[in-house]
């Protein structure tokens, strides 16, 4: 099998597997006062300290959640409810048109059920937000904005967003800013304090950790309304018994992945170059989307998003899958939904082009053999998908 879908989830690193297995054999609720509970609490707090150190945050700013979706929901709903409670006029949310559904759907839910006024700002043809448009949206009535949110790096294109510029716009009016950094973590340097963000989402399973745990980094001074109420864990922002094995494995994965980041990124960028150059060579009409320039101000090193004119992306995906090559038509969270990517539509693509695209994403286990296997299979798969599309069009 050639696994080229690391942006959906990446295999756990051995260190995280070992730590998780060890912790699964132990008993102890981190909220209990006896010895087992204190041991569990120590494990959690050591993990919190490590994650905070690696991402430039204070330990008290790390709030453990079940993953990126919950963290995004807590950030945007929590900030909206808290700010609106302080001032009912603060009912507006400004966000980009390329957000992951884990952010897009909570925002639209707030509009439908909580009376939020939402404003989606456009992007350019590479998938990068237009900062002047965002500034205009904020400055039209800054006193009404409860929060601004923009992802650090797009999950389909890999295009990195001008987060510091977004923060600069919002800070002038004391508006909190959140960023979904799920895809960026482990591939570009992230420093929560230096970014001046108010909240930032990360998750374990994109970093070589387990599915089911993530964190919202949120400034201690910032008020947010919790989604869950119960035992008051995690600063009373996220009640619920903490999963010590998941948290410990999360920290182990962060330690390994961020520690090796520079070396790993260099190798993955070289593999991506081999992949992209090979695709254009064997399928000359293929179009590589997103920012063509590498680097932490341009795009992630591991994602290659490609449009194949005259083909259905779903058909190509299944033909590749039949040969043991796994990739994606976009976000895994939207897999199986027969609709074009909202990211590509926001970038100016029409429905046909948006449906005819694939995302290939690399990670720490990727090899040249994975890339070469794709390149060997791609010409025949492309030809067959084109024929199938012509038949459907003719009928």
Active site residues: 333
Tell the residue number behind the tokens 């082009």, with chain if given.
Answer: 353
Q: Check: CB of residue 147 under 8 Å from CB of residue 177.
A: yes
The Cα–Cα gap between 215 and 393 comes to 46
| SS3 state at 121 | strand
Q: DSSP letters along 281-314, please?
A: HHSTT-EE-S--S-BTTTB-SSEEEEE-TTS-HH
Closest CA to 104 of 113, 96, 115: 96
The Cα–Cα gap between 277 and 269 comes to 12
Residue 316 parent element (H or E): helix 313-321
The Cα–Cα gap between 348 and 331 comes to 18
Q: Check: CB of residue 72 under 8 Å from CB of residue 106.
A: yes
Q: What burial letters (b/e) apply to 2-26, b meaning 16+ CB within 10 Å? A: bbbbbbbbbebbebbbebbeebeee
Q: Check: CB of residue 169 under 8 Å from CB of residue 142.
A: no
Closest CA to 150 of 130, 178, 120, 172: 178
Residue 44 per-residue DSSP state: H
Half-sphere exposure of 113 (CA within 13 A, CB side): 9
Closest CA to 306 of 326, 267, 333, 276: 276
Sign of CA dihedral 208, 314, 291, 179: negative
Residue 160 per-residue DSSP state: B
């Amino acid at each position: 099998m050639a696994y080229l879908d690391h942006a959906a989830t990446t295999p756990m690193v051995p260190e995280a597997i070992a730590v998780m297995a060890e912790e699964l054999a132990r008993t102890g609720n981190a909220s209990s006062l006896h010895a087992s509970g204190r041991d569990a609490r120590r494990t959690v707090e050591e993990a919190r300290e490590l994650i905070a150190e690696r991402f430039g945050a204070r330990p008290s700013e790390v709030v453990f959640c079940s993953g990126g979706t919950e963290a995004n929901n807590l950030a945007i709903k929590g900030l909206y409810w808290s700010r609106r409670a302080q001032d009912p006029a603060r009912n507006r949310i400004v966000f980009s048109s390329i957000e992951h559904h884990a952010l897009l759907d909570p925002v639209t839910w707030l509009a439908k059920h909580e009376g939020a006024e939402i404003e989606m700002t456009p992007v350019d043809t590479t998938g990068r937000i237009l900062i002047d448009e965002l500034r205009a949206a904020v400055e039209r009535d800054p006193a009404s904005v409860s929060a601004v949110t923009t992802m650090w790096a797009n999950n389909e294109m890999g295009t990195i967003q001008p987060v510091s510029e977004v923060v600069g716009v919002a800070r002038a009016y004391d508006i909190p800013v959140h960023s979904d950094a799920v895809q960026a973590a482990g591939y570009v340097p992230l420093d929560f304090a230096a970014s001046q963000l108010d909240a930032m989402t990360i998750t374990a399973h994109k970093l070589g950790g387990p599915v089911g745990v993530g964190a919202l980094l949120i400034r201690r001074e910032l008020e947010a309304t919790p989604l869950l109420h119960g035992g008051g864990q995690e600063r009373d922002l996220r009640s619920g018994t903490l999963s010590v094995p998941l948290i410990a494995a999360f920290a182990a994965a962060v330690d390994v992945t961020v520690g090796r980041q520079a070396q790993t990124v260099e190798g993955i960028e070289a593999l991506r170059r081999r992949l992209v150059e090979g695709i254009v060579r064997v399928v000359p009409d293929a179009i590589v989307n997103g920012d063509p320039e590498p680097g932490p101000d341009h795009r992630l090193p591991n994602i290659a998003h490609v449009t194949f004119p005259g083909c259905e992306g779903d058909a190509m995906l299944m033909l590749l899958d039949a040969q043991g090559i796994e990739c994606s038509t976009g976000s895994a969270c939207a897999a199986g939904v027969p609709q074009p990517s909202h990211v590509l539509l926001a970038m100016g693509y029409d429905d046909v082009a948006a449906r005819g695209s694939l995302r290939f994403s690399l990670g720490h286990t990727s090899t040249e053999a994975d890339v070469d296997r794709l390149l060997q299979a791609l010409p025949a798969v492309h030809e067959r998908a084109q024929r199938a599309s012509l038949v459907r069009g003719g009928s």
